[in-house]
Amino acid sequence: MKRQYTDEHASAGVRAPLPEIETWPNQYPGYEIEIVLPEFTSVCPKTGLPDHGELTLRYVPDKLCLELKSLKMYMLAYRNLGIFQENVVNRFLRDIVKACQPMEATLIGEFTPRGGVYTKITASWNKKRHGRKG
């Protein structure tokens, strides 16, 4: 059986330039922030069809917190980006960690069913487990 998706499809969007996520100094230790982005959209790199979903980010800040307007602009940059859903969640989390170096972070992507298939993807990062780099 011939594979319909290429390695180019699989890596689409993974290294695309996206807006910087800004931060501000955290004032308090030991609490969790939850941010829900209910209107996420991107594009399937093979079919060009839109993917819709809700992203939920939970993170424990260390020295920096995410600035929400820049996070919104970052999210909106995915709108016309061809990228698989699994890569969306992992790339988004990677960029969050790079921006604010949280103590821990989890990103959940719940994507609208297409063709009867519902996808929920969870990626997590922990400073103790993964080290101090992002």
Catalytically active residues, by annotation: 44, 51
Long-range CB pairs of 28-32 (<8 Å, 24+ gap) are 30/60, 31/60, 31/61, 32/58, 32/59, 32/60
Contact 48, 82 (CB under 8 A): yes
Q: By C-alpha distance, which of 63, 71, 65 is closest to 132? A: 63
Residue type at position 133: K
Q: The tokens of 81 are what?
A: 């980006």
